[in-house]
Amino acid sequence: MSWNRPLIIGLLVVLLAMTWWRLHPAEEEIRRSQLLMGTVVEIVAGGQAIESLESAVDAAFAEIARLDKLLSRYHQTSEVTRLAESARGSKVSVETMEVIALGLDVAQRSGGAFDLTLGKLKALWGFDQETPTVPDHAALSIALNGIGPRALSLQGQQVNKRAPQLQVDLGGIAKGYAVDRAIAVLKEHGVVSAAVNAGGDMYLLGQRPGRAWRIGIQHPRQTETVLETVQVHDQAVVTSGDYERFFEQDGVRYHHIFDPKTGLPARGCQSVTIIADSVALADALATAVFVLGPEAGLQLLTEYPQAEGLIVAADGTLHSSPGWARYRVAP
């Protein structure tokens, strides 16, 4: 037929146009991940041109890497290591000071359930090694010697240790702090909609196009199931669970959230999720509440009116703080 060729050419043009359209979607959003702080850190950012988003996200990752070097127990030149090696304490940078100040506040209010001086204890258990084992009673006592909310004191940027063998470990709060700083960097670059997720500790900035961020909370025992879904914007969500890092010995599960009183894994909860204004606070509170157990944990949360929590107790029952329901959208 005479109109065969033009028709075919026309169809090819339409096909090309559609492919082109598909390659340049209108909604700009980028997802980037990097291995930092011993976990996968994912940043989702959207709402503006890709080039500016890319540079903002790069800056955010750089900030997290910088803080990792500063606060991590594993870096030989970190301020935490320096503190551990010093006898009486040392001067620290403003960031470290802020982290320690916040950590000490939670440590005191939680009666020591959250503790910044568990460096020796964590090294003893060796969760970051290939084969962790249960330490014996004597080793545990040594590791717990001198710890507690009063073991550290802060005077301006000077950190003082009450005992020379104390090793500061900011692991339960540093990741959160890094995420908070990353968000600040993104905001400085003009990003208004983003999510920074460091292995489950996350902050949701602004909203997704059209609706708030929806965060699923992992069921502590059924890995494919979501316990609840919450909707947040401009808030932090942190979950601490006994399923994240653990090993089994003689049929007993040992996880990485320790009760500072015994040096053994806390047994009161299966998981705790905290929604708060900052990830550092949510991080510290999640650990504290986990160690305290459901009743004392909820009691602690009343001292932080802007924070809400969901607790899965050791027996699987759910407990939530009074204001939690406003975030829940499912079930």
Partner 1 sequence: MKTPWQIMTAGDWLVVLLLLGISFTGLLWVATTAEGTRVVVTSGGQTSFTAPLNQPRTVDLDGPLGQTHLVIDNQGARITGSPCPRKICISMGTAKQTGDLLACVPNRILVRIDSPVGEEAAYDLLSR
Partner 2 sequence: MTCSAVESAELTRARRQVFLALFIAIAVTLHVLETLLPTPVPWLRLGLANIMTLVALYLYDGRAAWTISLARVGIGALLLGRLFSPGFWLAAAGAIVATSAMIVMHRVAGRRLSPIGISAIGAAGHALGQILAARLLVIQHPAIWQIMPLFLFFTLFSGILTGWLASGLLEQLQQHPAFQKNEADNNTSADDYVERACR
The residue written with tokens 């909604």 in the block is 27
Residue 8 in the binding site for partner 2 (CB under 8 A): no
Amino acid at 148: G
Least distance between partner 1 and beta carbon 283 (Å): 12
With CB under 5 to 8 Å by kind, the binding choice for 318 among partner 2, partner 1, none is: none
Classify burial at 83, counting beta carbons within 10 Å of its beta carbon; exposed 0-12, middle 13-18, buried 19 or more: buried
Site for partner 2 in 15-74 (CB under 8 A): 15, 18-19, 21-22
CA atoms in the 13 A half-sphere facing the CB of 248: 5
With CB under 5 to 8 Å by kind, the binding choice for 15 among partner 1, partner 2, none is: partner 2
How far is residue 299's CA from residue 259's CA, in Å, rounded to a whole number?
17
With CB under 5 to 8 Å by kind, the binding choice for 200 among partner 1, partner 2, none is: partner 1
Residue 213: closest CA among 41, 47, 38: 47
Least distance between partner 2 and beta carbon 72 (Å): 40
258 DSSP assignment:
B
165 DSSP assignment:
T
The binding site for partner 1 (CB under 8 A) comprises 44, 195, 197, 200-202, 204, 207-208, 210-218, 226, 229, 231, 233, 237-239, 241, 243-244, 273, 325-326, 328-330
Closer residue to partner 1 in complex, CB, 137/211: 211
3-state secondary structure of 93: coil
Amino acid at 114: F
Closer residue to partner 2 in complex, CB, 21/74: 21
Closer residue to partner 2 in complex, CB, 23/35: 23
Closer residue to partner 2 in complex, CB, 12/325: 12
Least distance between partner 1 and beta carbon 188 (Å): 21
Classify burial at 197, counting beta carbons within 10 Å of its beta carbon; exposed 0-12, middle 13-18, buried 19 or more: buried
Binding site for partner 2 (CB under 8 A): 15, 18-19, 21-22
